[in-house]
Chains A and B, each alone.
Chain A
Amino acid sequence: MRDYQVAVIGAGPGGYVAAIKASQLGLKTVCIEKRKTLGGTCLNVGCIPSKCLLHSSELFFQSKYHFSHHGIDTPNVHFDFSKMQTRKNEVVKSFVQGIDFLFKKNKVEHIEGYAKLVDPYTIEVEGKKVTADNIILATGSEPIELDFLKFDEKKVVSSTGALELSSIPKKMAIVGAGIIGVELGSVFSRLGASVEFVEFLDRICPTFDKDISDAAYKVFTKQGMKFSLSHKVTSAKVDNEQVFLQVEGAKKTKELQADTVLVAIGRKPNSSHLGLEKVGIQRTEKGFIRVNDCFQTNYPHIFAIGDVIGGQMLAHKASEEGICVVEFIKGTTLKLSYVAIPSVAYTYPEIASVGFMEKVLQEKNIPYKSFSFPMKANSRAKCTGQEEGFVKVLGHKTDKTLLGVHIIAANASELIGEAAVAIQKKMTIDELANTPHAHPTLSEAIKEASLGAFDKPLHL
């Protein structure tokens, strides 16, 4: 008889959700977390705190620059960054305490400390051994560091450090214009920093479709952010005051000076201090834990989920995987369709997408039709003055199955929900187009784009 039926290592959105679900399904469950607080990267140093600062900074930006369009005079708007930070910290605190509460409510045992596998059924947590019938590895990921630009989390920061800055840097350089980069860049740009990106690829946000990237580039540039695309940082110098980056493009090399540098070039799996080699759990070259179609490692009772197995590094992806694994342990097979997992950037306008990228359809030779409906022609967007962006839908050319929805628009993060449902249920574009949408709402743009794909939009 082992101590637990399920032991989860890591209490991020993958691990804590799996632990709660396991306990709800009647399995004796323990969750082991290295941090003092539960919630992992997402709650402590990721999704949640960044969304707090994004919203605070957007309110400031709007009141300063956009309220006047609505006839509201706000000549002397000021912000207190330390209060923004305090508010953010309180939100985070209430969330992590909330998970403590959920663990207690659902009778999930919580052990604090670094976990290490000593044999396939035994985990050592700082000297103490626990055994379990099933083990779920949900240890997440951490920011990738540049060799010549180590994080000091003051002048050279990862996303974690950027969220903890005590003041707004005058000049901020951001290496990597992916989702994390442009979100944090937006925060500091809105609050007055001069923000410049160095991006290795020829476009920003490369996990979205090219037309979305291009539209985002235009809006962000208009907001004052600068981008050096197809450039890379080759070396760096850090002195007491500033950081100097050597930036190399196809034609010329330049020096970029900044008070703070955010390095947001991706994340790597946390898989190296878990004792995986000792028990013989296989990893990929990049350190991701190898799993089969049921999230099983080479031991059928040891599972891995979330960032540590790779794929899209998204909190909700990890949570869904966690639930699937726990159901699998109970003997139920829940399918998880990766195509239906949405991805969002909380910039202004927001970017959200679900389903196939257009490029992928082209590569796979899938016949498809595409239609983009501009938010300019959407009545609600007109009312609120948030007319930037468009909704693009992709549908299978012959059977009209909805293959993808890509949105750059205000509230895209909320709009993408219906698209995810439609893709999960493999609905056709016609079904989406024939679904009544409230008027006037931004969501009508999805209906209009769907109408446009095989027929004609009504309002264009």
Chain B
Amino acid sequence: MKKEVKVPSLGESITEATVSNILKTSGSYVEMDEEIIELETDKVNQTINAPESGVLTVNVKVDDVVKVGQVLGEIDTEAKGPKKEEQPKEEVKREKPKEEPEKKLQSGAKIRETEEDFLQSIGSEQKEEAKEKPVEQKKESKNEKRTRMSKLRRVIAQKLVEVKNQTAMLTTFNEVDMKEIIDFRKNEQESFQKKHGVKLGFMSFFIKAAVKALEQYPEINGYIEGEEIVVRKYYNIGVAVGTEKGLMVPVINDCDKKSFAEIEKELKVFAEKAREGSLSIDSLQGGGFTISNGGVYGSMLSTPILNPPQSGILGMHAIQKRAVVIEDEIVIRPMMYLALSYDHRIVDGKEAIGFLVQMKNYLEDPVRQLVDS
């Protein structure tokens, strides 16, 4: 029996990927679950594992752009030993199950390629080539070093510009006094760790505060689709993590239903996986709102860029002791600036500002507002 190896679902916004590495060549014998092909998307590298044990035939080559559902190759489960002749492609087709004729009504497929189709197809290739070629052709000078952008980098570049062009993005700021959270962590850390086996970090406070603020300002947890505004009734928060290959944003689902400890545990797993480069594409999908912490690198203030189709992203920054006025007295407090970038098409300034003010309130009074609730 032959088992097809297909490009798995890569999540909501991803329809194609690039073959970045072929780990097992045609004709080799692979064990079930062995890694055979590596795919690169704009979000992550995904390895494809063998669905069965058998002799592998790979139909794609490195740098091929493949679509979700496309057959990358097949595994002949009956063949034993390392070598067997490649089966002609027709054989694969023959095994497809017979469809009932009634079911395949006007499938939307297009067999007949007209002159217009031809011209359109060469038009697109032309544009892509025009973009890529000049970079390759220019010679490196003594004062400059040129390297070709990776597929990941190119896609990131393209996506970032698209966000700027396709949304009405702007940023609002506030600041938060972190004293309460710092004190709480200091006092509770030991017992929290003992009880849950994980450190209580700052991030779980911000996630919980964001969820509560999002509940009050649901548009920020929404997105535009066509002429409709879709508001998510779930609270999936993406947390930006820097890795060697670039920024990754794993998503913690249903944060409203999770405890601080559960969130911290998930964050820990994600951080480890991100460092190893083994984050699955699934874990990067479905976010409704993102939190990005530039503070770990020392940033005082920044304007984060939205992660479409989301409408809001919170920027956390470095905590610095500053002189602030509290009840008419100048005191030293550990302060952090907060930034919220939002899509002004569906979020108005009043809501965005209100959201940040709420976050500030929650974070400055964490025990009553967050931990107790």
A residues whose Cβ falls under 8 Å from a Cβ of B: 5, 25-27, 133-134, 292-296, 300-301, 324-325, 327-339, 356, 360, 364, 366, 396, 398-399, 401, 426
Q: Which of A292, A325, A364, A398 contacts B119 (CB 8 A)?
A: A364
Q: Is the CB of A337 within 8 A of B118?
A: yes
Which residues of A have CB within 8 Å of B97?
A: 331
Given contacts A336-B111, A339-B113, contact A426 B96 (CB under 8 A): no
A-B contact pairs, 19 of them (CB 8 A): A26-B94, A134-B101, A294-B110, A300-B102, A300-B105, A325-B111, A327-B93, A329-B101, A331-B96, A335-B110, A336-B111, A336-B113, A337-B118, A338-B112, A338-B114, A339-B113, A399-B125, A401-B126, A426-B125
- A423 (CB) vs chain B CBs: closest residue: B118
Q: Is the CB of B113 within 8 A of A301?
A: no
Which residues of B have CB within 8 Å of A334?
A: 111
Which residues of A have CB within 8 Å of B122?
A: 396, 399, 401, 426
**At the interface, yes or no: B183 with Cβ under 8 Å from chain A?**
no
Q: Is the CB of A25 within 8 A of B115?
A: no
CB distance from B24 to the nearest CB of A (A): 26
CB distance from B101 to the nearest CB of A (A): 4
Q: Which of B93, B101, B110, B115 contacts A338 (CB 8 A)?
A: B115
- A296 (CB) vs chain B CBs: closest residue: B106
Q: Once bound together, how far apart are the Cα atoms of A337 and B107, in whole Å?
A: 19
Q: Which of B104, B119, B126 contacts A300 (CB 8 A)?
A: B104
| CB contact list, B158-215 vs A, under 8 A | none
Which residues of B have CB within 8 Å of A333?
A: 109-111
- A356 (CB) vs chain B CBs: closest residue: B115
- A121 (CB) vs chain B CBs: closest residue: B101
**At the interface, yes or no: B136 with Cβ under 8 Å from chain A?**
no
Q: Is the CB of A399 within 8 A of B126?
A: yes
Tell me the dominant secondary structure on chain A's binding face.
loop
Q: Once bound together, how far apart are the Cα atoms of A339 and B96, in whole Å?
A: 29
Which residues of A have CB within 8 Å of B125?
A: 399, 401, 426
* B-side interface size class: 20 to 34
CB distance from B114 to the nearest CB of A (A): 6
Q: Is the CB of B109 within 8 A of A294?
A: yes
Q: Once bound together, how far apart are the Cα atoms of A167 and B348, in whole Å?
A: 90
**At the interface, yes or no: B129 with Cβ under 8 Å from chain A?**
yes
**At the interface, yes or no: B99 with Cβ under 8 Å from chain A?**
yes
CB distance from B45 to the nearest CB of A (A): 29
- B117 (CB) vs chain A CBs: closest residue: A337
Q: Is the CB of A339 within 8 A of B129?
A: no
Q: Once bound together, how far apart are the Cα atoms of A134 and B101, in whole Å?
A: 7
| CB contact list, B278-323 vs A, under 8 A | none
- B103 (CB) vs chain A CBs: closest residue: A300
- A132 (CB) vs chain B CBs: closest residue: B101
Which residues of B have CB within 8 Å of A328?
A: 104, 109, 111
Q: Which of A25, A295, A300, A366 contacts B111 (CB 8 A)?
A: A295
Which of B104, B105, B111, B112 has the most chain A CB atoms inside 10 A of its CB? B111
What 9 pairs across the A-B complex have the smallest Cβ distances? A399-B126, A301-B101, A300-B105, A293-B110, A337-B113, A339-B118, A401-B122, A331-B96, A333-B109
